[in-house]
Structure 1
């Protein structure tokens, strides 16, 4: 089979970026990020951009859809799909090989399954009606609109839940046109670690990013004029570090709660990937413990099958 895309996926802290860059370097390729938070400028350590991983043998592998939006703005899957189409067509037109890389399951599936998406404008009347409702009430409303709800981040905060309800109501009332998605034939490669090793890697990486200045990064974003509420919207690192910086959590409480939240997030990611497989997406899982060269060789072997 001939593939025109390789997609490298997996939960957080599994080394996706490094593998994508090494593979792309071998194939004169370029990496397209499929990460819902790495699009934001100034949000580097907190989103795990691992920018140094794009350098292979002293040369930078070109990457796309990283640092394309200002922090405080709201990027979404519709914009990702649209941006992906533009970037994919550009890479192919220059006779380079595109490598999609990320852990945001919805973004990956929007491309691999060609979701039909439309841009949803704000609905001020609906937002007014939902104002004051508890997160539990909002979750119940969303589940009635979307019984197969499996994206927990949609109901992580009141603001996210209201936006998710807004989107589902708009979809129900407006026809969806086919996207201009090019024909995609993707070899999908997942990086696999056992649960305990994944937990160890998450904890080690969290400590490393804190040592490298992740708290300073969040403080800089606050000093730039972003409100605590704006940063909390992004969840995980930005939520808990912000709560610590504004005095609502001690450092130890912040670390403990954040560590648990990232472990839970990684579990949800794996649940999504297993769901993708059930929905018909073939994923070839490779052992994350293997040396980089062997991982790349395994992808090469899969390409030739």
Structure 2
């Protein structure tokens, strides 16, 4: 019988990881993380790894990169397929779990993006621009390319916005070259960063963890306070002490952006907490916007109430899974 993949998605603080772990333990599954920041080692509290939630369940694509590097969608797709094939080869059930909608959608659609090299001339021209200015430029580019990549969830710092502009610009330039009929426009660095169908889409049952907005906000605030108590500020201090540049930590957004600004003396503790709390609430809202967008783009997401007992949630997923694989 086919070991069809199961995808469990949801906004931050929805409790998707414990659900995935309990499910994996019941059906002989292994978890592939779909989180753009949990790939980094020693960035534990700020990314909410909660590794204790996994118990003895094997997991993949967590702690695979050094802090200060810039992991991207192209790399994720390659690493995902390696993990996916490895899990399938051992007869286990792959369970994709996370909240980075772009990563999830790219994998499920079977897109393979070509790597886009840095465009130093473009980067130099963008130096000094504000995040608002960069965001406006990005939106203008996306209107031209028709792209649904790089929403506000992914570009919450100037560095991220510049990288997104770099990619969208490459898409636009490549399409312009295609129209001329000139192979590569004599630009050997220009590669097609557009979806190609060389990798098949992944057939997956998609489960969404549906959490009430007010409960989500309460859990986010409670979890933020707990992680600060557990030493999240010290985690950022240690990363800076390793020699990681503040701007490289700020690049990762959310906790690392505001905590770095606090640790380096740019903002006070109370301001850090307030702005970070608001930013996480906004982030969770944008995650849900992305997931609803996935439904409009043809994905079927089976939403399960986050407040149900764990046993009931897992049984519901198993029932859906069994009905899917016998079709």
Band the TM-score falls in, shorter-chain normalisation: over 0.9
1:37-73 per-position Cα deviation (integer Å, ceiling 9, x unaligned): 0000010000000100010xxxx10000000000010
Q: Is the 8 A contact 2:38 2:63 kept in 1?
A: yes
Q: What TM-score do the two structures reach when normalised by structure 1?
A: 0.94
1:27-66 alignment, distance < 5 Å: 27-55=27-55, 60-66=56-62
Q: Write out the 4+ residue segments of structure 1 that deviate beyond 4 Å after TM superposition.
A: none
**Cα distance in 1 for residues equivalent to 2:154 and 2:35:** 16
Tell me the equivalent position of 2:100. Answer: 104
Tell me the equivalent position of 1:17. Answer: 17
**Cα distance in 2 for residues equivalent to 1:256 and 1:72:** 26
1:109-166 per-position Cα deviation (integer Å, ceiling 9, x unaligned): 0111222411111111221222233333322322221026661044422211111111
**Cα distance in 2 for residues equivalent to 1:90 and 1:135:** 40
Tell me the equivalent position of 1:295. Answer: 313
Q: Is the 8 A contact 1:189 1:284 kept in 2?
A: yes
Tell me the equivalent position of 1:6. Answer: 6
Tell me the equivalent position of 2:214. Answer: 196
Tell me the equivalent position of 1:83. Answer: 79
Is residue 2:242 matched to residue 1:224? yes
SS of the residue aligned with 2:261? helix
1:210-289 alignment, distance < 5 Å: 210-289=228-307
Q: Is the 8 A contact 2:24 2:31 kept in 1?
A: yes
**Cα distance in 2 for residues equivalent to 1:253 and 1:78:** 36
1:223-264 per-position Cα deviation (integer Å, ceiling 9, x unaligned): 111121111111111111111111222222111111111000
Q: Is the 8 A contact 1:202 1:263 kept in 2?
A: yes
| Equivalent residue pairs, number | 301
Structure 1 unmatched runs, 5+: none
Cα distance change of structure 1 residues 132 and 245 upon mapping to structure 2, 3 Å threshold: closer
SS of the residue aligned with 1:252? helix
1:171-229 per-position Cα deviation (integer Å, ceiling 9, x unaligned): 23143473553452100001111100000110111111111111111111011111211
**Cα distance in 2 for residues equivalent to 1:106 and 1:177:** 13
Q: What TM-score do the two structures reach when normalised by structure 2?
A: 0.88
